[in-house]
Amino acid sequence: MKRFLRGAALCTVIFCSLALGRQQPQQREAAAIQQANLGVTLAQSGKYREAVQAYKRAAAIDPTLPNLNLNIGLAWFKLGDFRQALAAFEKEAPSDRVTTLVGMSYFGLGKYKEAAVRLKPLADAQPEKSELVYLLAKCYVWSGDADAGMALFRELLQRDPDSPAVHRLMGEALDSQNHTDEAIKEYEIAAKNAPAQPDVHFGLGYLYWKQKRYDEAGREFNLELKTNPKQALALAYLGDVQMKAGNVAEAMASLKRSLEEQKNSHLAHLDLAILYQQNKRNAEAISEFREAIRVDASSYDAHYRLARLLKELGRNAEADKEFAIVQKLHEKKTEEPLMRISGPSQ
């Protein structure tokens, strides 16, 4: 009986396939268009996964239907799956729009150099498109080519001298070159022109923090949290400022709130560990030091402080293990500048 049913099912599949093959070209095209249009409707409703399936059904019927891969790529892009979006876009016929989307997909994947390669010819050909130039500038900054990014920022500021986004990104570029004073000036302009823009006060506060201008840093972190109370980094750095000022209860509250929003904050774990240690809550301190190391295994400070605490508690074997790691990290830190000066071996 089971053999008969399997045979019947196979005959049904063959019959349906033959029937589909005998359909008139107009019928096949109509069926493909119907599925493609369904995909568009689903995408417009925000149902992007269902849209992808509809587009794929359309492609199975008529793979020559225009823009199918483009629409599939756009749906994946909206879902934040840039890898699948890129794969679809690269199957589409070349055009400025497709090249832009390919570049944006590389950007979404964090492959900023590859994104810049795609976007530069388009930006050169269409310099009036400020959004495109701005995106290319971000690619340069985040791929480590701050000079190229700065050149584009200056060009953008000639068109819009008060642009908060450009001033903020210029600040990032200058900070990456260790020009902290100049970076602060750019962030101050951005904060003045767009005080409610997300992360602008945090960025300015961070730059003040780097210069140990803790009162100013704390003010900016608090301003950030007024408009974005769940900004984990602002909470972590505010906690650090509060700890440095000796405000233990406030610092602990800020650091714990930071970890509620982002569990993998090295700074929050490290500072909490220090506060617990200062208050003789050693078990909690050890736990937090280990969490800080879990987030950043190369943290010299976390390993060293943990080693010292373990030694004080008489846990010598564990302490010696941490001290050995500290020694290795110290040796690596000493070697790195020489490696950068001499360059990689040929």
Asked whether residue 52 is domain-assigned, the answer is yes
- Residue 25 burial (CB < 10 Å; 0-12/13-18/19+)? exposed
pLDDT digits (tens, 9 = 90+) for 251-288: 999 999 999 999 999 999 999 999 999 999 999 999 99
> Are 234 and 228 contacting, i.e. CB atoms less than 8 angstroms apart?
yes
153 pLDDT band (50/70/90 cuts)? Answer: confident
Task: Give residues with Cβ within 8 angstroms of 221, minimum separation 6.
Answer: 201, 202, 205, 234, 235, 237, 238, 241
Per-range mean pLDDT, top range of 7-16, 254-263, 332-341 = 254-263
Asked whether residue 42 is domain-assigned, the answer is yes
CB atoms closer than 10 angstroms to residue 106: 21
Per-range mean pLDDT, top range of 72-81, 120-129, 165-174 = 72-81
Number of structural domains in the chain:
1
Taking the C-alpha atoms of residue 169 and residue 179, their distance in angstroms, rounded to an integer, is 13
Asked whether residue 26 is domain-assigned, the answer is yes
Residue 10 has pLDDT above 80, yes or no: no
Asked whether residue 9 is domain-assigned, the answer is no
Quote the pLDDT of residue 332.
74
Asked whether residue 182 is domain-assigned, the answer is no
Domain that holds residue 69: 16-93
Domain of 33, CATH number, reads 1.25.40.10
**CB burial readout 231-257, b (16+ within 10 A) else e:** bbbbbbbbbbbbbeeeeeeebbebbeb
Asked whether residue 84 is domain-assigned, the answer is yes
